[in-house]
Amino acid sequence: MNEATSKCDGYCYDDQLPAHHVQRNLKYYPGGRNLEETSIALDAVHSDGSLELDTHSLYGAMQSEATSKYFTDVLKKRPMIVSRSSFAGQGKFAARTLGDNHST
């Protein structure tokens, strides 16, 4: 798993809660679950001013790109990278899996 995670569900402390929570304004919840469960709060602001909501999967995509470039440029090997986290354009560097699947 290469997604940024947290031991808290969203915010760790009540005084960190924003007045207008981003998740409450979403029209669609992928998978119908709490998007902040064991994850960084969607309202978290990064050092460049961007919201976690907009950049969550970018972390994993950048890891995939760096790994791919290491294999191709340094080791001169053709990599096969599978990532659970995905962002636009990542298909050039890694395949995507949906993660845990439960079936019978």
Q: What is the pTM of this model?
A: 0.68
Task: Name the β-bridge partners of 82.
Answer: 95
Please tell me the distance from the alpha carbon of residue 79 to that of residue 15, in angstroms, as a whole number.
Answer: 45
Q: Provide the pLDDT for residue 46.
A: 85
Say if residues 34 and 9 touch (Cβ distance below 8 Å).
yes
Q: Residue written as tokens 């961007």?
A: 50
- Cβ neighbours for 10, distance < 8 A, ≥ 6 positions apart: 23, 36, 39, 40, 41, 42
Averaged pLDDT, groups of 10, the chain, 104 residues long:
74 78 76 78 87 85 93 96 86 84 69
3-state helix, strand, coil in the chain (%, to 5): 35, 10, 60
Q: Which amino acid is at 37?
A: E
Say if residues 78 and 65 touch (Cβ distance below 8 Å).
no
Counting every residue written for the chain, the total comes to: 104
Q: Provide the pLDDT for residue 24.
A: 72
| Coil, strand or helix at 81 | coil
